[in-house]
Amino acid sequence: MHTIEPYFNWRDHYVASEDERSPFYGRVYSEFSFSNKIYNYFIHPQWDEIGSPTLYLKVLFVDYQQSYAVIELIGEWNDCINNDIMFLKRELIDHMMEHDIKYFMLICDNVLNFHGSDDCYYEEWSEEVSDEQGWIVFVNLLEHVQSEMESTGIQYYANLGPVFNDVPWRGKKASHLFMEIENRLHGSVKQLRY
């Protein structure tokens, strides 16, 4: 896992540690010192921690004018033991929403497992973005991760499913990814529930 780096092709346009509105502003990263682990496996030092011992992330892009964020995740999403959604919501999402971000694209290619609990934080997040006419989309979930999320009822609060699981996002501009997700949302049978 230590070789899996966050996507870096948008760094010429956005770096969270250089964004004064980011909760990661001013962070300094090492290329050589591996300290964060998911279980017994070191992960690349460019991933950001949010308080969870098993779920890490990288804010890849934020557009404050268009009000969207692209967040890449890695690890095991464990609400059952670690309450990872609480860490995500309190340490990142709440902060972003204070800066008028209302469209959230969570890149889940590297989310290897999901263990659900209750849906309170998802419901809260959903209500907050719906008040702003926003949305939450889980992009490229593994089949078993999607199944676990659906068994917890996450699909009632966020957009997920086959229409969002084959998005070729790497190599696109962030603005093109945003437009593609918008198009898939409006063309999807599972449209916004808000």
pLDDT digits (tens, 9 = 90+) for 35-72: 788 888 888 899 999 999 999 999 999 999 999 999 99
Q: What is the pTM of this model?
A: 0.93
Give the CA dihedral 172, 22, 66, 179, nearest 10 degrees: 20
Q: Which domains does the chain have, with CATH numbers?
A: 50-187 (3.30.750.24)
> In angstroms, what CA-CA distances link 141 with 68, 147, 162, 170?
20, 9, 9, 15
CB atoms within 10 A of CB 184: 18
Contacts of residue 152, Cβ cutoff 8 Å, sequence gap at least 6: 79, 114, 116, 117, 119
Identify any residues that bridge with 56 across adjacent strands, giving them in sequence order: 49, 74
Q: Please give the sequence-ordered ranges of beta strands (E in DSSP) within the chain, or none if there are none.
A: 37-38, 41-42, 48-49, 55-63, 68-78, 103-115, 135-139
The pLDDT of residue 191 is above 90 = no
Provide the pLDDT for residue 2. Answer: 76
Q: Please give the sequence-ordered ranges of beta strands (E in DSSP) within 11-100, or none if there are none.
A: 37-38, 41-42, 48-49, 55-63, 68-78
